[in-house]
Amino acid sequence: MARRPELEEATPWKLADHPRLGKGKVVGVVVLDGWGEAPPDPFNCIHVADTPTMDALRKGAPERWRLIKAHGTAVGLPTDDDMGNSEVGHNALGAGQIYAQGAKLVDLALASGKIYEGEGFKYIQQSFETGTLHLIGLLSDGGVHSRIDQLQLLLKGASEHGAKRIRVHILTDGRDVLDGSSVAFVETLENDLAKLREKGVDARVASGGGRMYVTMDRYENDWQVVKRGWDAQVLGEAPHKFKNALEAVKALREDPKANDQYLPPFVVVDETGKPVGPIMDGDAVVTFNFRADRMVMLAKALEYETFDKFDRVRFPKIRYAGMLQYDGELKLPSHYLVAPPEIERTSGEYLAHNGIRTYACSETVKFGHVTFFWNGNRSGFFNSNLEKYEEIPSDTGIPFNEQPKMKAVEVAEKAKDAILSGKFDQVRVNIPNGDMVGHTGDLEATIIGCKAVDEAVKIILDAIEQVGGIFVVTSDHGNAEDMVKRDKSGEPIRSKDGNVQPLTSHTLNPVPIAIGGPGLASGARFRKDLADAGLANVAATVMNLHGFEAPGHYEPTLIES
């Protein structure tokens, strides 16, 4: 990762000792994924669930429990209408600083026009004269993985910079936005493409499908999801064929069981039944999602010459770029339109320079968050002699609402062993249930998942108690605390049959942070002058609990001086 030489030279790695908080105590850092704070409500699964451990943290020591922001500008996103997510959340938690992230980076590049001056765009531009530009991504305004307005600007900009033939391969949402909103998004896109055609640009939608069934798998959980997309996008093959995308989405949604997340793959065909836009040799491809996790698998299929996850049938010779680079360690993709934020001097790197021994663990679906994202989008160790990372395999091929306890207890037991071993100064874990089960929209399963989270927290806190350590319990964003779609007055939205419509997205709610444990100095409490504190304030707080002052360029600590 690029470094700024002036920062390297001006800022020493050695951290000053904290004047009041001593060293030598094990610090357990517990991130509860998707665990926000909202008023008590039948659709607040955290409230409904039996969570005595988390309840005790709030009620037992109110001076050591507070809420912090986990969305919008607090984590580097453009506005406070932007939901946080696990990637930017863990970046902020680990970095101690607020960096322009995801959508904001893309917004800046599009607004300035710099996106068209970069190496990535110049690379794909080489295909514009004789080939087709293919744009693949999530079609919605959810702001978690992509935004339709960015696609609109990219379509306009690409056509102004020489793209003569454009094909869009859409993935419908229904997870970060309301189910059924796909129809309006497709109408908007089709109108824009019609305007481009009036200007002489051959622009059409070529294929589509629902995000959870087509293309957008992650962590190599189910390569068949990517294959369905490949077959439609590259081969022009799908079980459903339509004359245009609007007809496709409307028709496929007529199935009583249909929803936007799981629409089957389709291709758009011409009057002769021939697909209008398979990806061919000489074409350019851009995946326009700015969030990485659900683009990595497709990026591998598009870029890797040696590939054995499924039979690609044909591997077109294309120029491929991501909106962003999705994996910094793998350098994947090797070309991208917008450069990643240069996250420098993360808390993990500082603590390694100061001799702190770290153990990090989660199950597969969130393992990258307590390692790669926590460490500033950096794979590997800062110091392999001081760090150990352990991954618990997640269940595969089983929906999370069918196994809502996930691996919470297994992760907690690993953390307990690490704490009791005496080999580590920091033990850091992510417990994913609130987010992963919450995304299914299954209230009963999410309640079970939240109870499992609480049980896992107790295991870890009991171990901290046993060794005289310190704990920090927090979250990366909301989800499980509000599981229903609401109208403008805040009342649940109900369908015609009277059933509530489940909310499957993240939320804009704040998240809790609690500190405690027998090793915490007497009188240590949260300060009251940081009303707008967010996730980036956690790193300085954790450094203090290790007995160090945080660097001056970090967001301030939450602990009262």
Q: Following DSSP, what letter does each residue of 238-249 receive, concatenated?
A: -SEEESSHHHHH
Q: In what order do the strands lie in the sheet with 133-138?
A: 240-242, 266-268, 202-210, 165-172, 133-138, 284-287, 319-324, 336-338
Between CA 211 and CA 505 the distance in angstroms is 13
Contacts (Cβ under 8 Å, ≥6 apart) of 22: 521, 547
Residue from 86, 146, 182, 505 carrying the catalytic annotation: 86
Note whether 156 and 176 are within 8 A (CB).
no
φ and ψ at residue 558, rounded to 5 degrees? -85, -10
- The residue assigned the tokens 């209408």 is 81
Amino acid 236 reads G
Tell me: cis bond preceding 333? Omega within 30 of 0 counts. yes
Note whether 284 and 124 are within 8 A (CB).
yes
183, with CB counted inside 10 A (0-12, 13-18, 19+), is: middle
Between CA 305 and CA 339 the distance in angstroms is 24
55 is written with which tokens? Answer: 């309840």
Q: Which of 517, 512, 525 shows the shortest CA–CA distance to 561?
A: 525
For β-strands 511-516 and 65-68, DSSP reports them as antiparallel
Our answer to whether residue 140 is catalytic in this structure is no
Q: Following DSSP, what letter does each residue of 361-424 receive, concatenated?
A: EEEHHHHHIIIIITTTS--S-S-TTTEEEEEEPPP-SS-TTTSTTTTHHHHHHHHHHHHHHT--
Between CA 533 and CA 283 the distance in angstroms is 47
Contacts (Cβ under 8 Å, ≥6 apart) of 558: 66, 68, 513, 526, 527, 530, 533, 537, 538, 540, 541
Q: Following DSSP, what letter does each residue of 50-64 receive, concatenated?
A: --HHHHHHHHH-GGG
Helix (H, G, I), strand (E, B) or coil at 165: strand
Between CA 6 and CA 274 the distance in angstroms is 58
Helices and strands in the chain, H and E counts:
17, 15
Note whether 225 and 212 are within 8 A (CB).
yes
Residues identified as active-site: 86
